Structure 1
């Protein structure tokens, strides 16, 4: 029943931040996203069990191996995303969801809507990215 309610509900800025409705909405959003990723993983492994590499042509085999490598890379990113979703769900239970892990400030509904696994407010995320970019530039010099 709640699943149906939160398909039409959208968090509003004039509601108390991370109120019950917000937490339920993001819980359902994260669980739905997680289910999709798990289903994609199951399909991937079913396809992998098939006869993907049973071709006589060496060029076809090479192309298929490259495709499988790309698929595994995608699968690895999806596994990391599932871990991030699980951590976000734990933060909801702990009452920490929606707050920046660096500053403690609100992350914001718009940012969470776009990236429900976000752990930093925009300012902290931008600062982090600048720091990573600066390290990358200094490492390549």
Structure 2
């Protein structure tokens, strides 16, 4: 059984390149991703229950305010739904041994970047390159 890593262990890791995304690191990121997934599912469940329990206000101004709140809540949940999809994709990448490696270059994404953004699929350089290309062709 490998030692369970902490966030600090990930931040301080300076092992050899061939030890990148070892069993302990993969276990750390799997646990992090599953925790994020569970939190998003819980929030969605709470939102659904809240919307089902509340009756529409009889006053038109109150109803408009309430509907605006619902719209904002639904936009937030839609962003979270997209994040949930990315989390599930990252969990599949862990299962397939592809997690932590750039989709464009195959190079390591880096532990610090993955800690900040566990669903990252591109290295910083590849992400910047894509953004530059997007800006060039957006004109």
Please give the alpha-carbon distance, in whole angstroms, between the structure 1 residues aligned to 2:67 and 2:137. 34
**CA shift for structure 1 position 68:** 0.7
Name which structure has the greater RCO, CA cutoff 8 Å, separation 6+: 2
Picking from 124, 129, 136, the partner of 1:127 is 129
User: Structure 1 residue 23 and structure 2 residue 30: aligned?
Assistant: no
**CA shift for structure 1 position 10:** 2.9
**TM superposition score normalised by structure 2:** 0.88
User: Structure 1 residue 14 and structure 2 residue 15: aligned?
Assistant: yes
Please give the alpha-carbon distance, in whole angstroms, between the structure 1 residues aligned to 2:81 and 2:131. 23
Deviations along 1:83-122, whole A, 9 cap, x unmatched? 1001000001111000000011100000000000000000
Picking from 75, 78, 81, the partner of 2:80 is 78
- Mapping 1:1-141, distance limit 5 Å: 5-6=4-5, 10-11=9-10, 12-14=13-15, 16-53=19-56, 55-136=57-138, 138=139
More displaced, 84-93 or 6-15? Answer: 6-15
Please give the alpha-carbon distance, in whole angstroms, between the structure 2 residues aligned to 1:7 and 1:109. 12
More displaced, 57-66 or 126-135? Answer: 126-135
**CA shift for structure 1 position 134:** 2.9
- RMSD across aligned positions (CA): 1.9
| Alignment: residue pair count | 134
Question: Which stretches of structure 1, 4 residues or longer, exceed 4 Å deviation after superposition?
Answer: 6-9
**CA shift for structure 1 position 7:** 5.4
**Gaps in structure 1 of 5+ consecutive residues:** none
